[in-house]
């Protein structure tokens, strides 16, 4: 499966045919994910902040504790930062995440925080608005737009970034931040969600940061990095 060079087969620059092949191979292995809304936008925003540098299990636990202790996001915004830190302590980095969450909620207004403003915005305008909030970067903005609203905006986490670089979809020096619009365009609106979900799965199970299992990889035949990492 790894015979020859993936670069020769995939080409120096990915084409729409290359992307279609990669997406089909991922779908063949992991199935075709179907989008369903995960949380309302403000919930998704807070959840994504909590998910930074921790496990999914810790994120779910911290988010659940926060929702159990406080009736509304306005209550979280107005609570002492030390109390919010205690509520999310299971997720790690509570001293950083608690003030960030409070600052974001405060930036959404004095009443009940909401993101209804996004409804009348284009994808680009929505990304610009969200990244204008305190401490919100492109990945967090993309998670809110894609997971909550079904917008075709690609979140690029560490797994997506690593897999995309190894496949040659982005250059070796392209940062995760810069990769967001590139991978969004390469995937195409109808494939953004499936590509994100399946690349995350692939990065966790096969294309790991250390000792990637290239001998088990369904993409080895099109991957220029197969057997080299």
Catalytic residue list contains 97: no
Q: Note whether 102 and 77 are within 8 A (CB).
A: yes
- In the predicted model, what is the mean pLDDT of residues 188-207? 97
CA distances 18 to 3, 23, 103, 223, 228, Å, are 18, 9, 42, 11, 20
Per-residue pLDDT tens for 98-152? Answer: 999 999 999 998 899 999 999 999 999 999 999 999 989 999 999 999 999 999 9
- In the predicted model, what is the mean pLDDT of residues 73-87? 96
In this prediction, residue 7 carries a pLDDT of: 39
Distance CA 155, CA 183 (A): 9
Per-residue pLDDT tens for 3-61? Answer: 334 434 444 577 778 889 999 999 999 999 999 999 999 999 999 999 998 899 999 99
In this prediction, residue 10 carries a pLDDT of: 46
In this prediction, residue 191 carries a pLDDT of: 96
Q: Is the pTM of this model over 0.95?
A: no
Q: Note whether 19 and 10 are within 8 A (CB).
A: no
Q: What are phi and psi of 44, to 5 degrees?
A: -65, -40
In this prediction, residue 194 carries a pLDDT of: 97
In this prediction, residue 9 carries a pLDDT of: 44
In this prediction, residue 12 carries a pLDDT of: 59
Q: What is the CA radius of gyration of the chain?
A: 19
Per-residue pLDDT tens for 174-191? Answer: 999 999 999 999 999 999
- In the predicted model, what is the mean pLDDT of residues 200-204? 97
Lowest mean pLDDT among 9-13, 87-91, 192-196, 221-225: 9-13
Domains and CATH numbers, the chain: 6-34+154-222 (1.10.1670.10), 41-149 (1.10.340.30)
Strand intervals (E) in the chain: none
- In the predicted model, what is the mean pLDDT of residues 198-224? 95
Quote the DSSP letter at residue 217: -
From 97, 102, 139, 173, the catalytic residue: 139
In this prediction, residue 8 carries a pLDDT of: 42
Measured over all CA atoms, what is the biggest interatomic distance in the chain, rounded to whole angstroms?
61
Distance CA 201, CA 143 (A): 16
């Amino acid at each position: 499966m790894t015979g020859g060079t993936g670069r020769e087969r995939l080409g120096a620059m990915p084409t729409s045919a290359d992307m279609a092949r990669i997406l089909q191979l991922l779908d063949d292995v992991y199935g075709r994910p179907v989008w369903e809304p995960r949380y309302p936008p403000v919930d998704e925003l807070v959840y994504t902040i909590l998910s930074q540098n921790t496990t999914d299990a810790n994120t779910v636990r911290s988010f659940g504790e926060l929702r159990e202790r406080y009736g509304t996001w306005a209550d979280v915004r107005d609570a002492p930062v030390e109390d919010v830190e205690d509520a999310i302590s299971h997720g790690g980095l509570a001293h950083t995440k608690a003030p960030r969450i409070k600052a974001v909620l405060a930036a959404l207004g004095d009443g009940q925080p909401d993101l209804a403003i996004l409804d009348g915005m284009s994808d680009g305008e929505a990304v610009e608005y969200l990244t204008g909030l305190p401490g919100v970067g492109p990945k967090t903005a993309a998670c809110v737009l894609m997971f909550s609203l079904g917008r075709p905006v690609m979140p690029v986490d560490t797994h997506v970034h690593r897999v995309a670089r190894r496949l040659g979809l982005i250059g070796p020096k392209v940062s995760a931040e810069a990769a967001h619009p590139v991978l969004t365009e390469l995937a195409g609106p109808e494939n953004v969600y499936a590509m994100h979900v399946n690349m995350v799965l692939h990065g966790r199970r096969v294309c790991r940061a250390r000792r990637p299992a290239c001998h088990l990889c369904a993409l080895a035949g099109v991957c220029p990095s197969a057997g080299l990492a």
